Amino acid sequence: MLYLGCHLSASNGNVTMVNTAMELGANTFAFFTRNPRGSRAKEVDIADCERAMKLLSENHFGKLVAHGAYTMNLCTAREKDRLFAWDILKDDLYRMGFLPGNFYNFHPGSHVGQGTEEGIRQIVAALQYAMEQDSPVTVLLETMAGKGSEVGGRFEELKAIIDGVGSEKIGVCMDTCHVYDAGYDIVNDLDGVLQEFDEIIGLDRLQALHLNDSKNPFASHKDRHECIGSGSLGLETFQNIVNHPKLKGKPMILETPNELPDYAREIALLRQMERE
């Protein structure tokens, strides 16, 4: 089963997102747990969560891939700001508990000059602080482009975070634009990249994908998303991805620079690419 979706606005609640997703031909979706720029989050609407969960199961959706705020930096240098970010993570995971069984993906963080090792140490500490023992949420670390001081541009860094946390409820979301920008050649050697992922992290940890083309060439460490087929990855790469046996059944989320009608077009295009 191909689970495809895109980023949706959470401002009208979960049930609205499920209905919008269906109108777009999606059977999963992503949303920001709070305003991506600010940090305010609304009260949890438990009735809305329960109705959404029922709709998702009735309509055979794949797992949702919520996205933490871009501004949440778990390894920022100033301790006061860092601890604030850790509390945001904790609150996000608490909220996601009302949509049990789904994923919460986030950018691991930027170490802002503290060094990758210290960044990883702080991200691990943040997750140990925020993750509850019996939480129904699996946390996903996003593969990053390696822009600036970003942590998570190398599979080894994600592996170090996963090992440091030592939980079953932590996995990885592979962003196609980011990995290509980071220097993993999914255009010419998707099999090789997945094999490397398997050797370093383990493919059982790969839980979701972000499908984005890239505005920049291989290993550029830039992170600028392009529409599917219009960038340096190209249509064939996405055809390989949606048909790859090792990626089967994983939710795939579009984060391309589009409005909703264009998302619907891209979802339809990707569905057409799926070989029976």
**Residue least distant from Zn ion (Cβ):** 142
Among Zn ion, Fe ion, none, what binds residue 223 when CB lies within 5 to 8 Å by partner kind? Fe ion
User: Looking only at residues 5 through 34 of this chain, which bind Zn ion when binding is defined by CB under 5 A?
Assistant: none
Q: Is 223 a catalytic residue?
A: yes
The answer to whether residue 95 forms part of the interface with Fe ion (CB under 5 A) is: no
Q: Give dist(CA 215, CA 217) in Å, integer.
A: 7
Name the residue nearer to Fe ion (CB basis): 221 or 265: 221
The 134-173 contact track toward Fe ion, x by CB under 5 A, reads ----------------------------------------
Give the one entry of Zn ion, Fe ion, none that residue 266 binds, where binding means its C-beta sits below a cut-off of 5 to 8 angstroms depending on kind: none
- 150 three-state secondary structure: strand
Active site residue 244: no
Q: Smaller CB distance to Zn ion: residue 2 or 145? A: 145
Residues 216-235 that bind Fe ion (CB under 5 A): 223
Per the DSSP assignment, residues forming a β-bridge with 254 are 6, 211
Give φ, ψ of 49 to 5 degrees.
-60, -45
Per the DSSP assignment, residues forming a β-bridge with 105 are 67, 140
Q: Write down the least CB distance from residue 43 to Zn ion, Å.
A: 25
Alpha-carbon span 274 to 276, nearest angstrom: 6
Asked about 178 being catalytic, the answer comes back as yes
Closest CA to 48 of 18, 13, 17, 19: 13
Task: Give the one residue of 157, 175, 181, 266 binding Fe ion; rule: CB under 5 A.
Answer: 175
- Comparing CB distances to Fe ion, the nearer of 34 and 210 is 210
Catalytic residue among 92, 150, 157, 223, which? 223
Write out the E strands in the chain: 4-6, 65-67, 103-106, 109-110, 138-142, 150-151, 170-175, 206-211, 213-214, 225-226, 252-254
Binding to Zn ion in span 106-165, by CB under 5 A = 142
Distance CA 92, CA 126 (A): 13
| Contact indicator for 109, 116 with CB cutoff of 8 Å | no
Pick the catalytic residue: 92, 150, 157, 175?
175
CB of 67 to Zn ion, least distance (A): 6
Residue of 23, 37, 40, 259 marked active site: 37
The verdict on whether 225 is a catalytic residue reads yes
What does each C-alpha distance from 97 to 50, 90, 100, 118 come to in angstroms?
11, 11, 5, 29
The Cα–Cα gap between 82 and 73 comes to 7
Which residues are within 8 A (CB) of 26 and not within 5 positions of it... i.e. 6 or more apart? 4, 5, 6, 263, 267
Closest to Zn ion by CB, 69 or 241: 69
Active-site choice (205, 210, 213, 263): 210
Residues that bind Zn ion in the complex, under the rule CB under 5 A? 142
> What residues are labeled active site?
37, 67, 70, 107, 142, 175, 178, 210, 223, 225, 255
Residues that bind Fe ion in the complex, under the rule CB under 5 A? 175, 210, 223, 255
